[in-house]
Amino acid sequence: MTAHHSRTAASDLGLKTRYEREAAALRCEPSRAAHRATAHVRVAYGLACEVEHADRTLRVDLPGDEGGTASGPHPGQLMRASLGACLVMGYRLWAARLGIALDDVSLDIECEYDARGQLGLDADVQVGWQRVRIDVVLYGSAPEAELLRLAEHTHRLSPMLANLSPDVERVFRVRVAKPERFVPAMVTPSK
């Protein structure tokens, strides 16, 4: 067993324990399951906004060619980041909870949209994303069928995916790779 795999197995046990404990508590007291999350958003300058959450503040801006100053990620970048990160975290959490050996995961996300919709130029053009493509690679020693089941389970229970309009076509490509084929990126110190 590699050092990476033993760390993953130990952290998976911790994740499984934490979420199973939380699930058991919510089964006993379903009223504790309801949550509310808030953010305060205000203009910082121009089109740039400050988004304040309870534990952090985030700058959001548009690129220069769209009238912003590129002082932070734009809303589309944050939406892709939120969806992608939620899915990656979901694969890890559900792998731990379901006892499926998952060593690593990566994904690429691409969204397609037609700017005429949001600019009000064509009433027949959908506003926002029309299609999102998500290419996932699951690296694990579990049987391929188990890893594909993990992906389906994660997609079904992903809160960020559920927040997308049903009008957005979702295209998933899930690939499975054995850990021995996975070579982590090497970082070479600069001299």
| Ordered per-residue pLDDT tens for the chain, 191 residues | 344 444 566 587 788 788 788 888 778 888 888 888 899 999 999 999 999 999 999 999 999 999 999 999 999 999 999 999 999 999 999 999 999 999 999 999 999 999 999 899 999 999 999 999 999 999 999 999 999 999 999 999 999 999 999 999 999 999 999 876 544 554 544 44
Indicate the domain borders of the chain.
3-27+74-181
Q: In what order do the strands lie in the sheet with 57-60?
A: 40-45, 48-52, 57-60
Q: Considering the domain delimited by 3-27+74-181, tell me its CATH architecture.
A: 2-Layer Sandwich (3.30)
Report the alpha-carbon distance of residue 93 to residue 12 in Å, rounded. 8
Statement: the pTM of the whole predicted model exceeds 0.95: no
On the CB side of 121, CA atoms within 13 Å amount to 6
Report the alpha-carbon distance of residue 169 to residue 38 in Å, rounded. 28
Name residue, tokens 């795999």: 5
Q: What is the dihedral of CA 185, 103, 144, 132, to 10 degrees?
A: -60
Backbone angles phi, psi at 43, to 5 degrees: -70, 130
